[in-house]
Amino acid sequence: MTMPTFRGEIEQITESVWTTVLGMPLVPASALRRQEAGPDTFAGRVCIDGAWAGEVVVICSRTMARRAAALMFEVPAAEASDSDMQDALNELTNMIGGNFKALLPESCRLSLPSAPPGVGVPVATAGTVQGNVSLESEGEPVNVVLIEHAR
């Protein structure tokens, strides 16, 4: 089942989760601020399966992942470990994915959040990008990619 692009919904969901959980506003980023996966980024992913199959991937800078971990786990930013940063991003990704899943018209299941396999590779499977939202908070980019898997 091919679905329409949910760019606006993904942007609104991400902004709501970021503000509610972290108390940090997100605003649309310029194309130049888009965060691509790389060696100094963190990415979280949740897969959706059922009537619709795909994944939600959230990519952010190390600096943003550190800020998120510090706020979520109430530790000084300097003390946030890579594991803390990944856990924080995974939890944010899970919330974004869960809210997106609720928009789907038919029953679907949400996987546990994980880091995408492969260093700096946000997507492990073939699919079609159905939404790619670039945001930023406190000058740091956050990118959310919605991918529909081929069946």
Terminal-residue alpha carbon distance, the chain = 9
Give dist(CA 91, CA 102) in Å, integer.
Answer: 17
Dihedral of the CA atoms 116, 117, 118, 123 (nearest 10)?
-50
- Under DSSP, is residue 22 helix (H, G, I), strand (E, B) or coil? helix
Token reading at 129: 């990008």
CA distances from 124 to 20, 28, 41, 104, 118 (A): 30, 26, 16, 22, 8
Quote the pTM value.
0.87
> Would the pLDDT of 121 be above 60?
no
Structure tokens at 126: 């073939």
Question: What is the structure's pLDDT at 122?
Answer: 46
pLDDT in tens, 79-108: 999 999 999 999 999 999 999 999 987 889
pLDDT of residue 34: 53
* pLDDT, position 102: 92
CA distances from 75 to 28, 50, 72, 128 (A): 28, 38, 8, 38
CB neighbours (10 Å) of residue 61? 19
- What the block records as the tokens of 75 is 């530790």
The confidence band for 115, taking pLDDT boundaries of 50, 70 and 90, is confident
Task: Give residue 31's pLDDT band: very low, low, confident or very high (50, 70, 90).
Answer: low
